[in-house]
Structure 1
Amino acid sequence: MHSPEDDVLARTAVDALTGQLALAPKPGLPDPRGLGARSGHSDHCSLRWSATALVPGLAAMAATARRTGEPTPQLRTELGAIGRCTEHSVGLAGGGHRGALWVLGLLVAAAALDPRAGARDVAAAAKRIAAHPDRRAPRRPSRGSTVSAKYGAAGARGEARAGFPHVRRALDALTTARSAGATETEARLDALLTVMSTLQDTELLHTAGPLGLRHVQAAARGVLESGGTATEEGRAALTAFDADLHARAWTPRGSAGLLAGALFLDSFPAAAGALTRAAAGS
């Protein structure tokens, strides 16, 4: 059984994911605008709907971590099993979010280990969980692991085992943009572009190869170097970048999942209060 605190963590994580989905324009990614069949309004609505199917699985991950109390190999194995069941449920609800589930699942479990931990401590605890192998994982390689091996990219597993460096960079970008007077939407878009500018996104490597990946990274840096999305020049560069990726049908999905992780950790001051209230009411 999971507790009210576990539900709070799960719903906070899904709120972070739907917050990421609500951003626009996101270069090459689904957002609320109608941009054609591949990433238009119906796709965006489906992703928002299927995101809600993550709640039970994420709550179960939090409950498992809370019961275990330590980032043990057994915890990693149990999280993997819950994650595979959750993927199936999300598939029935419309699909998507596989990368976000990996990121948010580890971070939710890490947060449940110590509800008083700060954002960076949670990322460090997630690193300790991810260091263990999932002994019940299917033996067949995933597309991401195959691409990682082919190009020497860290991939989702490497990102987690390094303590989610791109999640931490996105947190820094949020702080920097807010301090400079950006709106919340602008700060979040700058954080997304910060991730895109350096992430070795295996989805992009699969569809566009190393040259395509470097093209995307350079374009993301170009927006930031133009002043970011809070400036007129930066917004113009973002619009051009967005049109370019949609025309090429390149989708940097890895960056979207990591931004969701950053938004989850960014919500921790508010989440901590909700956890305290949930504990008091249980």
Structure 2
Amino acid sequence: MSSREDETLAHAAVQALTGQLALAPKPGLPDPRDLGARATRTDHCSLRWSAKALAPGLAAMAAAARRTGEPTPALRAELGAIGRSTEHSVGLAGGGHRGALWTLGLLVAASALDPAARSKDVCTAAKRIAAHTDKRAPRRASRGSSVSAKYGAAGARGEARAGFPHVRRALDALAGARRKGATEPEARLDALLTVMSTLQDTELLYTAGPLGLRHVQAGAREVLEAGGTTTEAGREALLALDADLHARAWSPRGSAGLLAGALFVDALPTAVSSRAQAA
């Protein structure tokens, strides 16, 4: 049974995911502008709705980590089982968020495992959990793992086992943009572009191949090199990249999930404070 602490962590993770969904314009990714487009209306609405369906599973993951107390193979297997059950529930609610569930699930469990961890220490704690193999996982290869093997990309599993380096990069980008006076949406978009500029996104590799991935990475770097979303040149470059990716139907979904993870970790001090006040 999950506690108030576990439910608070789950709520913070869902808030991070819906916060990522609310950003616009996100190159090649669903955002609030889609609500005015008949073709994609259901997609964005269902993504916002199904994000809420993650909460029970994330709370259960936090409870499992708190009960186990150590990053053991047994905990990794239990998190995997909870994750697969949660995927089914999310599918019934509209689908999506598989990559975000993997990232947020490990980070939520890491936060419960080490309640004193903050910022990048949470990524380190998640790394210790992800180091173990889930022996109960289905034997069939996923699309992401197949693409990772084909192109030598780290993929979601490699990202976690490396301690979520792109979540760390996003946290640095958030802090840097805020120091320079960016608004919160601008800081978050710059963090997303920072992830996009270097991530070997297996979704992009599957749909666009290595050349397409490099094209997207270069486009994200162009926005950042123009000064990011706080400058006129950066905003123009962002809109051009957005139009380009939507026209090509290329979606950097892996970057979106990692940004959600960074927003969760970034919000942890606030979540912990709210939890203490509620107690």
Same fold (TM over 0.5): yes
Distance 1:16 1:274 in 2: 15
Distance 1:129 1:81 in 2: 14
Q: 1:253 to 1:37 in 2, by over 3 A?
A: farther
Deviation per CA, 1:228-266, whole angstroms, max 9, x where unpaired? 000000000000000000000000000000000000000
Deviation per CA, 1:47-95, whole angstroms, max 9, x where unpaired? 0000000000000000000000000000000000000000000000000
Distance 2:11 2:274 in 1: 11
Distance 1:182 1:277 in 2: 30
Deviation per CA, 1:94-149, whole angstroms, max 9, x where unpaired? 00000000000000000001212112111100000000000100000000000000
1:274 aligns with 2:274: yes
Identity of aligned residues (%): 79
1:41 aligns with 2:41: yes
Distance 2:32 2:49 in 1: 13
Instruction: Write out the 4+ residue segments of structure 1 that deviate beyond 2 Å after TM superposition.
Output: 34-38, 274-278
- Deviation of 1:150 (Å): 0.1
SS in 1 for 2:153: coil
Aligned residues: 278
Q: What is residue 107 of structure 2 aligned with on the other side? A: 107
The one-letter amino acid of 1:228's match is G
> Do the aligned partners of 1:58 and 1:108 also contact (CA within 8 Å) in 2?
yes
Q: Which runs of 5+ in 2 are unaligned?
A: none
> Do the aligned partners of 1:144 and 1:203 also contact (CA within 8 Å) in 2?
yes
Q: What is residue 145 of structure 1 aligned with on the other side? A: 145
- Deviation of 1:36 (Å): 4.7
Query: How does 1:119-134 map onto structure 2 within 5 Å?
Result: 119-134=119-134
Query: How does 1:33-72 map onto structure 2 within 5 Å?
Result: 33-34=33-34, 36=37, 40-72=40-72
- Deviation of 1:37 (Å): 5.7
Q: 1:147 to 1:162 in 2, by over 3 A?
A: same
1:159 aligns with 2:195: no
Q: What is residue 206 of structure 1 aligned with on the other side? A: 206
Q: What is residue 186 of structure 2 aligned with on the other side? A: 186
Distance 1:171 1:37 in 2: 35
Q: 1:212 to 1:37 in 2, by over 3 A?
A: farther
> Do the aligned partners of 1:27 and 1:242 also contact (CA within 8 Å) in 2?
yes
Q: Which runs of 5+ in 1 are unaligned?
A: none
SS in 2 for 1:13: helix
> TM-score, structure 2 length as denominator?
0.98
Distance 1:275 1:133 in 2: 32
Distance 2:125 2:276 in 1: 20
Q: What is residue 175 of structure 1 aligned with on the other side? A: 175
Stretch moving more, 66-75 or 115-124: 115-124
Distance 1:121 1:259 in 2: 17
Q: What is residue 240 of structure 1 aligned with on the other side? A: 240
State the superposition RMSD in angstroms.
1.0
Q: What is residue 259 of structure 1 aligned with on the other side? A: 259
Distance 1:63 1:21 in 2: 26
The one-letter amino acid of 2:250's match is W
- Deviation of 1:224 (Å): 0.2
> Do the aligned partners of 1:115 and 1:275 also contact (CA within 8 Å) in 2?
no
The one-letter amino acid of 1:176's match is G
Distance 1:41 1:24 in 2: 15
The one-letter amino acid of 1:19's match is G
